[in-house]
Amino acid sequence: MTLYVIRGEGVTAHSSAPAIVSQGELVVQSIEDIEASGLSKVELTAIWNALPGTAKLAKFKDRKTAAQRLWAAFAELPVEVPGSTAARAGSKQAQVIDLFRRAEGATVAEVIAATGWQPHTVRGIVSGTLKKKLGLTVLSAKEKRGRVYRIPAQAGT
């Protein structure tokens, strides 16, 4: 069964549960999960408008309609299969990828806290493994909390 992870306005399809589900992320498996998610009609509309190939909407008539249309659109998303990015579920590499895919991204310090790695190892996985070996797009931005790395929702899929 395909699972869909909603991160802000982005949605990714997975063939199995992701290794890490961060705070603010929502995993749905059915129309009922979308209806029971507690997402407002405004949030559901924003998710719809962010999906590739959908006609932009101002709003949905009701939650049920939103859930039905979103579920149909989710079925068209490419499914991420474990191993497709060469990271075993639960591995430290998978943890780093999941941290970078969160809307807020992750700093080197946050990756160190999650993995126990040294700073040079974190920088090495970003440039060597994620960018060169796996071909993922890793964005970097200087923010208040330091240099933040992100993998865009559709990158590498």
Question: pLDDT digits over 32-83, tens only?
Answer: 999 999 899 999 999 999 888 888 999 999 989 999 999 999 888 877 655 5
Q: For the chain, where do the domains classified as CATH 1.10.10 start and end?
A: 92-150
Mean pLDDT of 105-109: 94
- Confidence category of residue 155, pLDDT binned at 50, 70, 90: very low
Instruction: Specify whether domain 92-150 bears CATH 2.50.20.
Output: no
Please name the helix (run of DSSP H) or strand (run of DSSP E) that holds residue 41, with its range, or none: helix 41-50
- Is the confidence at residue 88, as pLDDT, over 70? no
Q: 47-51: long-range contacts (C-beta < 8 A, 24 or more apart)?
A: 47/6, 47/9, 47/11, 48/73, 49/9, 50/9, 50/10, 50/11, 51/11, 51/77
Provide the pairing of β-strand 106-107 with 79-80.
unpaired
Query: What pairs with residue 141 in β-bridges?
Result: 148
Taking each helix axis as running N to C, give the angle between helix 92-101 and helix 108-115, from 0 to 180 degrees, rounded to the nearest 10: 140
Tell me the percentage of the chain whose pLDDT exceeds 90.
Answer: 47
Evaluate whether 86 touches 133 at the Cβ level (below 8 Å): yes
Rounded to two decimals, what is the model's pTM? 0.53
Provide the pairing of β-strand 10-14 with 79-80.
parallel
